[in-house]
Amino acid sequence: MLPRCVLRGMTLTDKFGRTINDLRLSITDRCNYRCVYCRSGNNGPSFAELRFQDYVRIARVFVSLGITKIRLTGGEPLLRRDLLELVRELRALKTLDGEPLDIAITTNGHLLADLAQPLKEAGLNRVTVSMDAVDPELFAKITRVPNGFEKVVQGVRAAKAAGLTPVKVNCVLLRGFNEEQIVPFGVFAREEGVVVRFIEFMPLDEDRHWSPEIVVPLNEVVARLNTYMPLRHLDHGHSETARRYVFEDGRGEMGIIAPVSLPFCGACSRIRVTSDGKIRTCLFSVREHDLASLILEGASDEEIADRIRYAVENKEQRHHIGEADFMPASRTMVHIGG
């Protein structure tokens, strides 16, 4: 039997006192885009996907341990044909307080226009769309997909119309590539009524091109946006990853997620499960905890819960990006889940 971590107040709490209530559940590492900061230009290997019912079971056990938020990720989760059924099953789960789960999804948006309303009807709360340029030519260069820009914009608008709000648009910034899109994204946020969030580039790409020089830090993003219109700072939650801002006239919310220049590990509330059923307690974990093998061996829910507790007890205190002892993650981002 695996040793248990302490279950305090019916919530998962690690040895550093952080409450873990946010599950990122990857349901595929397949993707129809080949974004330059994530994938190589080739069709690399994929890991196995679990059965639909296995993801439901994993989610149910996590919720029984205090998880209140589930975000479905990939790869591109909209490629799963059983996605709507999965969302309906998750919607039936209740938190320990008897409240509905907060269910969200992260997608590249390419297939979202037709699925936004069905996802809402199935029980999805919110959607985040990955979109790294508002210039169609640069968008195609980043994604390596021609004519994708309009599909993604249509998806963003469909999500907003369906009530999957607030719709968030995530942009990964790479110096020398798309930092000139910062101000245009400010305009986009105001015109489309969405929350735009800029994310510092992290060393999770397949080609291992990351370097500190490529990172566009938070202070520079704020300075560039201020040239367009002054920003004012908004309060954010204790475990919220983004520093939030709004333009001075109240239109256009911007967020900046700065894991490199302003790490937020001390307030981390997340745990991840990969599409092949491995627990990762940090994006930069070098060790995984296997749930899929337990399921295949016929383990009980309590045995699965024990492994989850053990993983949480051994969650890393922080990442070490940019430090001498930094070790690259054992998987790249597409194989972890965003």
pLDDT tens digits for range 175-215 = 999 999 999 999 999 999 999 999 998 776 566 677 888 99
Beta-carbon count within 10 A of 205 CB: 22
> Can you say which residues are annotated as belonging to the binding site for S-adenosyl-L-methionine?
37, 75, 130, 202
Would you state the pLDDT for residue 2? 38
> Can you say which residues are annotated as belonging to the binding site for GTP?
24, 71, 106, 168, 270-272
pLDDT tens digits for range 108-141 = 999 999 999 999 999 999 999 999 999 999 999 9
For residue 40, pLDDT beyond 80: no
Q: How sure is the predictor about 5, in pLDDT bands with cuts at 50, 70 and 90?
A: very low
Instruction: Assess contact for 330 and 17: CB atoms under 8 A.
Output: no
> Can you say which residues are annotated as belonging to the binding site for [4Fe-4S] cluster?
31, 35, 38, 265, 268, 282
Beta-carbon count within 10 A of 303 CB: 17
Q: Which residue has the tokens 């249509």?
A: 154
CATH class of 7-336: alpha beta
Would you state the pLDDT for residue 153? 98
Beta-carbon count within 10 A of 323 CB: 9
